[in-house]
């Protein structure tokens, strides 16, 4: 422990735990978890499995039952005591992680912190589908969003208006409202648009459901899925489409001049 007199507070690390499979934590994230004296983990989604890397005697806090001040109090006091602190978030901390309000408090308290990225469930879901989210001639844009629930979504970002772009759309935190999601998306995308739901991507009980905007909601209901799932829609995840020019033998670029 770096508790030597005069040493300032230790750095708090916000670490992305990845989508579930503990092998999908970054090497850096894993090292930080191994070294941590205190780990505060978002227990609602971070699997206990991610905690296998913790050293013996680590102090664990499940933030699911804590409010913001309690969470930051644990981090601030441990940091001031020179202890190594990891704040573990599901997927990548920058998406729906509520990290900003924690970071703001750390800044106010003059506690140094760093963010370590993780594999977002959006990417784990794309991998489960074996699909690329951007396709030439189809879309070069990916939208991360959610439907309005307790957390409001700005008017200009309604699913219906986002759908009008025909981009690939990854809808977080919304599987419980799949019917409304589909209804809104259908205001912009044609009904034949490919849609998929990935439940617990990379977990042992991962489930992939594919279809179109017309039938995906019924399939999801039938499978009984109402939580921990990603909804992805857009032509990019469908069959066929132009090949990228990146590996086209007639196309030269900075790394391959003909």
Under rule CB under 6 A, residue 145 binds ligand SAH: no
Kindly tell me which of 15 and 201 has the beta carbon lying closer to ligand SAH.
Answer: 201
Among 125, 139, 145, 193, binds ligand SAH (CB under 6 A): 125
Under rule CB under 6 A, residue 173 binds ligand SAH: yes
Supply the minimum distance, in Å, between the C-beta of residue 134 and ligand SAH: 18
Kindly tell me which of 109 and 132 has the beta carbon lying closer to ligand SAH.
Answer: 132
Supply the minimum distance, in Å, between the C-beta of residue 204 and ligand SAH: 11
Name the token pair of 233.
């829609």
249: exposed, middle or buried (Cβ count in 10 Å: 0-12, 13-18, 19+): exposed
Residue 44 CA to its chain's centroid (Å):
13
> What's the DSSP call for residue 115?
E
E strands present in 65-121 = 85-89, 113-116
Q: How many CB atoms lie within 10 A of CB 198?
A: 28
Supply the minimum distance, in Å, between the C-beta of residue 23 and ligand SAH: 13
227: exposed, middle or buried (Cβ count in 10 Å: 0-12, 13-18, 19+): exposed
Under rule CB under 6 A, residue 233 binds ligand SAH: no
Name the token pair of 45.
């989604």
Kindly tell me which of 97 and 194 has the beta carbon lying closer to ligand SAH.
Answer: 97
Among 12, 143, 178, 229, binds ligand SAH (CB under 6 A): 229
Name the token pair of 199.
């439940």
Number of H helices, E strands in the chain: 7, 10
Tokens 């991507």 belong to residue:
201
Kindly tell me which of 10 and 145 has the beta carbon lying closer to ligand SAH.
Answer: 145
User: Hey, which residues between 40 and 99 contact ligand SAH (CB under 6 A)?
Assistant: 45, 89-92, 95-97
Among 40, 86, 129, 198, binds ligand SAH (CB under 6 A): 198
Under rule CB under 6 A, residue 230 binds ligand SAH: yes
Name the token pair of 172.
């977080």
Binding residues (CB under 6 A) for ligand SAH: these are 19-20, 45, 89-92, 95-97, 120-121, 124-125, 172-173, 198, 200-203, 228-230
């Amino acid at each position: 422990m770096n508790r030597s007199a005069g040493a300032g507070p230790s750095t708090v690390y916000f670490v992305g735990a990845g989508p579930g499979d503990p092998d999908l934590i970054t090497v850096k994230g894993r090292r930080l978890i191994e070294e941590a004296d205190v780990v505060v983990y978002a227990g609602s989604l971070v699997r206990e499995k991610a905690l296998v890397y913790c050293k013996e005697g680590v102090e664990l806090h499940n933030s699911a039952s804590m409010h913001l001040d309690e969470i930051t109090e644990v981090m601030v006091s441990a940091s001031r005591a020179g202890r190594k602190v990891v704040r573990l978030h599901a997927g990548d901390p920058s998406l729906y992680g509520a990290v900003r309000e924690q970071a703001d408090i750390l800044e106010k308290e003059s506690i140094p912190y760093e963010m370590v990225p993780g594999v977002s469930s959006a990417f784990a879901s794309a991998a489960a589908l074996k699909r690329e989210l951007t396709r030439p001639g189809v879309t070069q844009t990916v939208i991360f969003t959610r439907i309005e629930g307790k957390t409001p979504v700005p008017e200009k970002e309604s699913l219906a208006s986002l759908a009008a772009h025909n981009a690939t759309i990854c809808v977080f935190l919304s599987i419980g409202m799949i019917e409304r999601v589909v209804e809104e998306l259908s205001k912009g995308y044609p009904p034949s648009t490919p849609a998929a739901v990935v439940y617990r991507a990379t977990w042992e009980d991962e489930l992939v459901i594919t279809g179109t905007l017309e039938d995906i909601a019924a399939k999801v209901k039938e499978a009984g899925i109402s939580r921990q799932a990603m909804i992805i829609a857009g032509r990019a995840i469908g069959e066929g489409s132009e090949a990228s020019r990146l590996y086209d033998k007639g196309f030269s670029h900075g790394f391959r001049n003909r």
